[in-house]
Structure 1
Amino acid sequence: MTTILTTERLRLRHAELRDAPAMLQLVNEPEFLQNIGDKQVRNLQQAELYLQNGAIASYQQHGFGLYLVERLADGVTLGLCGLVQRDYLQHPDVGYALFREFSGQGYISEAALAVVAYASTELGLKQLCGIVAPDNLASKRILEKTGMRPAGQKLVPGSDKTVDFYLLELA
C-alpha cells in the first residue's frame, strides 16, 4: 500500500486491484452517474479493469492519479480524490468522488486541499484545473475552496456535454 499523503482525518493512497469492490459501488452511485458519468462498470472484473486502465496506469504514466481516500480513524474507504491528466485539458484536473453516506462532512474538501498542496510542493506543478457539471454546486464550492476560479466552459470530446472549467495558478 503506497500512502501518498495524510491529513488530520484522512489517508490518500494508491488505488489497488483489491479496491475493485469499492470502485464498483462508487462508480454506480447515483451522484457519480449524474455528475461524472456512467463508466459502464457493472461487475468486479470491469471494476478491476477500470482501476488498472485508469488510476493505476496514471501513476505509472504521469506520476499521479486518483487516490483512494480512507478515514484514518477506522480505514473506511470514503471515495477518490487526486489528479487526472485528460487529453483535452492542458493541465492536470483535480478530480474527486465520494460515497453519498460521507457527504457533507468536509472529507472531500480536506482531501482536495491536500492534493492541491501536494501538486504544488511535491510534484512541482504550476497550474491545475477542474471541470464540473454546470449544476453541481457542491463540487463548484470544493473547487473554489482550493483557490480555483471559473475560467469558462469546455466541451467534453466525444459527447455533447459542456462542463464548467476552473483554473488555479500555483505558486
Structure 2
Amino acid sequence: MTGTTLHIPTLETQRLVLRAPRWQDFEAYAAFRGDAERTAFLGGPFTRNTAFSQMAEIVGHWQLRGFGRFLVADRHTDEPLGIVGPYYPEGWPEPELAWSVFANAEGRGVAFEAVSAARRWAYETLGWTTAISLIATSNLRSARLAERLGAKNTGQPFGDPDSGKPVEIWRHPVELPADEVAA
C-alpha cells in the first residue's frame, strides 16, 4: 500500500514542546475556540464542530504548504498551551507567524518563547528571511508581543479575506536577534 506520509517536526525550548496536534489536545483546543473573550480577534466564539474543522486545518496546512502551526505544550506535563507557527492560507499577502495561547498560558511568556522558536525554525529550516504577523488593531496584547519580538507595524492595513475585518501588518526582523540565534 502506498500513500502520503505527513511529517510535522517537534521543536523543544526550555519549557515548551512545539509538536503536531493530537486528539488528546482537542478538549483544550475546543475550549479555547469556544471562548468569546479569547477568540474575539479571530471571529469567534466557535462551535465544537467548527473547532474540530479548524484543528484538522492545522494538520492539513502542513500537507499543503510543507509547514504550519504547532500545538504548544508544557514540556513536563504535555498540557496544551496554544497554537503557534508559520501560517499561509489562501488570500494572505505573504507567510505569517501566527500565535494564540490558551487561558492557562497567558501572562507566562509562553507566546514569546514559542513564537521565537517557531520563527527560528522558519528562518533556519524553511529559509525565510522575514515574516509578517497580522494583528487586529484592537489586539494590544499581540501588538506588545510583536514589539517584544522585534516586529514593526508597517502601517499597512489588510482586510482578512474571510471576515473582512481590518488587521495591521507587522514585519518581523530580516535577521534573528543574536540571543535568539544562540537559543
Bin of the TM-score, shorter chain as denominator length: 0.7 to 0.9
Q: Report what 1:21 is aligned to.
A: 27
Q: How many residues align?
A: 168
Equivalent residue of 1:32, what SS?
helix
Partner residue in 2 for 1:74: 77
Looking at structure 2, the residues matched to 9 and 63 of structure 1 have their Cα atoms a distance apart, in angstroms, of: 26
Q: Please, which moves more after superposition, 28-37 or 5-14?
A: 28-37
Which SS does the other structure have where 1:105 is aligned? coil
* One of 159, 162, 165 as aligned partner of 2:166: 162
**Separation in 2, partners of 1:158, 1:55:** 17
Partner residue in 2 for 1:86: 89
Per the TM alignment, residue 74 of structure 1 is displaced from its structure 2 partner at its CA by 1.4
* Residues 1:102 and 2:105 aligned together: yes
RMSD between superposed Cα atoms in Å = 2.0
Deviation of the 1:91 alpha carbon: 2.0
Question: 4+ residue runs of structure 1 moved beyond 4 angstroms?
Answer: none
Amino acid at match of 1:76: E
1:28 and 1:77 map into 2 onto residues whose CA distance is 15
**Structure number having the greater strand percentage:** 1
Relative to 1, partners in 2 of residues 1:84 and 1:74: Cα closer, same or farther, differing over 3 Å? same
* C-alpha contact (below 8 Å) 2:73/2:80 kept by paired residues: yes
Contact 2:153-2:168 at 8 Å conserved across structures: yes
Task: Give the CA deviation at 1:3.
Answer: 4.6
- 5+ unaligned residues in a row in structure 2: which ranges? 1-6, 176-183
Counterpart amino acid of residue 51 in structure 2: A
Question: Whose Rg is larger?
Answer: 2
Of the candidates 20, 40, 55, which is equivalent to residue 51 of structure 1? 55
- Residue 66 of structure 2 aligns with which residue? 63
| 2:179 match | none
Query: d(CA) in 1 for partners of 2:26 and 2:124?
Result: 30
For 1:154 and 1:167, locate their aligned partners in 2 and report how far apart those are by CA, in whole Å.
Answer: 13
TM-score w.r.t. length of structure 1: 0.88
Aligned partner letter, 1:19: D
- The CA deviation string for residues 115-153 of structure 1, in whole angstroms up to 9 with x for no partner, is 111110011112211011111111011112222111121
Cα distance between partner residues in 2 of 1:2 and 1:123: 13
C-alpha displacement of 1:103: 0.7
Letter in 2 for 1:123: L
Equivalent-residue separation in structure 2 for 1:18 and 1:137 (angstroms)? 31
Unaligned runs of 5+ in 1: none
Equivalent of 2:120 in 81, 100, 117: 117
Mean Cα displacement is larger for which, 112-121 or 141-150?
141-150
